[in-house]
Amino acid sequence: PRLVCASSVVLVVWAGFCSAVCVEVPSETEAVQGTHMKLLCISCMKREEVTASTVVEWFYRPEGGKDEPIYEYRKTNHEFPSRFSGRLQWNGSKDMQDVSITVLNVTLNDSGIYTCNITREFEFEIHRPLFTSSRLIHLTVVEEAGEDFTSVISEIMMYILLVFLTLWLLIEMVYCYRKVSKAEEAAQENATDYLAIPSENKENCAVPVEE
pLDDT band with cut points at 50, 70 and 90 for residue 13: very low
pLDDT band with cut points at 50, 70 and 90 for residue 70: very high
Between 112 and 128, whose confidence is greater? 112
Instruction: Report CA-CA distances (Å) from 177 to 167, 173, 206.
Output: 15, 6, 29
Is pLDDT above 50 for 7? no
SS3 readout for 39-100:
ECCECCCCCCCCCEEEEEEEEEECCCCCCEEEEEEECEEEECCCCCCCCEEECCCCCCCECC
pLDDT band with cut points at 50, 70 and 90 for residue 15: very low
* CA–CA separation, 211 and 191 (whole Å): 16
> H-helix or E-strand containing 176?
helix 149-196
pLDDT band with cut points at 50, 70 and 90 for residue 3: very low
- Mean pLDDT, the chain, rounded, equals 80
Least confident of 67-71, 104-108, 143-147, 171-175: 143-147
